[in-house]
Structure 1
Amino acid sequence: MKIAVIGASGMVGSRVAAEAVGRGHEVTGVTRSGGELPAGVRAVRGSANDVATAKELAGDADVLVAAIGPSRTGGDHQEYLDAVGNLIGAVRGTATRLFVVGGAGSLVVDGNRVVDGPDFPAEYKNESLTVSQALEDLRATGGDVNWTMLSPAFVIAPGERTGTFRLSGDEPVGEHISAEDYAVALVNEIDTPAYNRKRFTLGY
């Protein structure tokens, strides 16, 4: 299978690319700056905000993975939403699946989004609201976009690849997950789809 990973030099994207290559997939890693990529990944420079790049990637790949997120350095979060919108437009009406790396803030506990709770950390709130909006944008696409979002547990960091974790829909399971096991779950879903046009989550 042909998989394009946008943001392939980041913590999550690099592990997704490496996991996919390890399973025999043909992987293209897309970065803005040409950062170092895992062995076996074909490197391409490009941006999710560029219409021509997005269309070219969608036309060549079976799955387009957006391992990107809103700016954490004071940049305009609309750029991220525009990027997700651009990728939605690129895959609309095609057989290419769009896989978006999500966040934990949009997960739901007792019917309420975690990001809306009084104890949610203020320093992560704007970022979480932006990614939550991206989820709503995906949900509004209708039947001509095959999308999936995978939200991690509340804490995701480099760690061990165990291959053992729990999955859930919109409700969190566990407090943390390694970036390696996040990649395992994402590529599992690519290999054996169970969450077409849905969001799901994982944790220990």
Structure 2
Amino acid sequence: MKITIIGATGMAGSALVAEALKRGHSVTALARSAEKLAQLPASPNLTTKVQDAFALTSADFATADVIIDAFATAPSLAFQHIDLATSLIAKFRETTHPRLVFILGAGSLQTGDDHHLFVNDIAKDPNAASFLRIPQSQLKELNFLRDVDNVNWVGISPSANFHPGAATPFLLGDDELLVNANQESGTSTGTMAVAILDEIEQPQHHQTRFTVADK
């Protein structure tokens, strides 16, 4: 399968590149830094390209079976998560190919007996002011996607603590923040990559969001 990854050198993107190559897929890795792209695993199945995500055209995706949006940016530019999602969706209206995969935040998940949004809990943390715009924007991104019914898309959210690390056995859910038997809510980048590649290879979700957590 031919997979294009936007934001391929980031925390999530680099894990996705490694997992996709491990499974024998053909990967096109897009990022803003040539230096970081050069640090990705060498493979005959990997093509790298320095590319501004907002300068991408439909022609850039002509051979892609799947496009993964692993884009990350500074909190001050968090609105770009929404802008990129709308740009990608606009390119593929009234199509079923390629499939679009969006990595969303944990803030849009529900938690507690009243099923409130986890972003509300994040906002109560005085240390969150520096990054709060990101989960807030990713919630808006999901709300936008939920109204899209003529594009083949799927979203995935990590749990509360999204961190670098190898894949572990994992839990899957829909809209509720997952907590494991140790009352921990975390997702490693390796787990995220495995869950996404599993979904790509054997689709279980369509025009919806699901979530994954380390077991």
Common fold: TM-score over 0.5: yes
Identity of aligned residues (%): 34
Q: Which residue of 1 aligns with 2:182?
A: none
Aligned position for 1:131 = 138
The answer on whether the counterparts of 2:118 and 2:177 sit within 8 Å (CA) in structure 1 is: no
Match of residue 160 from structure 1? 166
Shift of residue 70, structure 1, vs aligned partner = 4.0
Aligned residue for 1:181, secondary structure, equals helix
Report which stretch shifted further, 110-119 or 23-32. 110-119
| Length-normalised TM-score, structure 2 | 0.86
**Residue pairs, 1:1-204, within 5 angstroms:** 1-34=1-34, 35-36=36-37, 37-40=40-43, 41-50=46-55, 53-72=56-75, 74=76, 76-94=77-95, 95-109=97-111, 110-117=114-121, 119-120=124-125, 121-142=128-149, 144-162=150-168, 164-174=169-179, 175-204=185-214
> Which runs of 5 or more structure 1 residues have no equivalent in the other structure?
none
> Closer, same or farther in 2 for the Cα pair 1:160/1:77, shift >3 Å?
closer
Structure 1 Cα separation of the partners of residues 138 and 163 of structure 2: 18
- Any unmatched runs of 5+ in structure 2? 180-184
Structure-2 change in CA distance of 1:12 and 1:81 (3 Å) = same
Instruction: Give the Cα separation in 1 of the matches to 2:61 and 2:108.
Output: 26
Normalised by the length of structure 1, the TM-score is 0.90
The residue type paired with residue 183 of structure 1 is A
Q: Equivalents in 2 of 1:78, 1:157: separation in Å?
A: 22
Cα deviation digits, residues 122-145 of structure 1 (max 9, x gap): 333211110111111111112x11
Name the count of aligned residue pairs: 198
1-side partners of 2:73 and 2:118: how far apart?
18
Indicate the structure (1 or 2) with the bigger Cα radius of gyration: 2
Name the SS of the counterpart of 2:210 in structure 1: strand
- Segment of structure 1 superposing worse, 34-43 or 114-123: 114-123
- Cα deviation for residue 156 of structure 1 reads 1.4
